[in-house]
Amino acid sequence: MASGTVAVRLPDEVLEQLQKRATAENKKVSDLVRELIISGLQQRENAPPAAIEHLDRLEALGQKAVKAALKAQFLANMSASFAVDVARLMTTKTQPSTEEKQEFMAQMDSWAENFADEWMGKRQKP
């Protein structure tokens, strides 16, 4: 069988995982990557067409969900930023400084992160 070379850029975390796994299995990273790619392709080829179709739909839905979440985050950030401006204008008739807005936005992000963590924690409990 003829062979070729493919260069792939990977995040440092993934490369570290590959290196650890290759060491544990007493293999070269390139051999491990080759095996994983071939195995992944074979699994997809051997999967029932309905399962592949289902996975493709799930992937598309996941991508839509990520885009919707990013759009919602953008709009929420814009709304919060606008609220800071309005509140300052109403109370002091001045605009907040860039630093004040950044502090407020960081606090809002922290509150949102905590809320999401708590909500996800509640959802994962039986």
Token readout for 6 is 């493919």
Enclosing domain of residue 35: 12-46
Same domain? 58 vs 78: yes
Same domain? 55 vs 67: yes
Same domain? 93 vs 112: yes
Query: What's the rounded Cα separation, in Å, for the pair 124 and 117?
Result: 11
The residue that leads in pLDDT, 100 or 27, is 27
In a domain? residue 63:
yes
pLDDT, tens digit (0-9, with 9 covering 90-100), for 49-96: 888 788 889 989 998 998 888 888 888 888 888 888 888 888 888 888
**Which amino acid, residue 109?**
D
Whether the CB-CB separation of 95 and 85 falls below 8 Å is answered with: yes
| Overall number of domains in the chain | 2
In a domain? residue 2:
no
Q: What is the pTM of this model?
A: 0.44
Query: What's the rounded Cα separation, in Å, for the pair 113 and 93?
Result: 31
pLDDT confidence of residue 24: 94
In a domain? residue 6:
no
Same domain? 30 vs 63: no
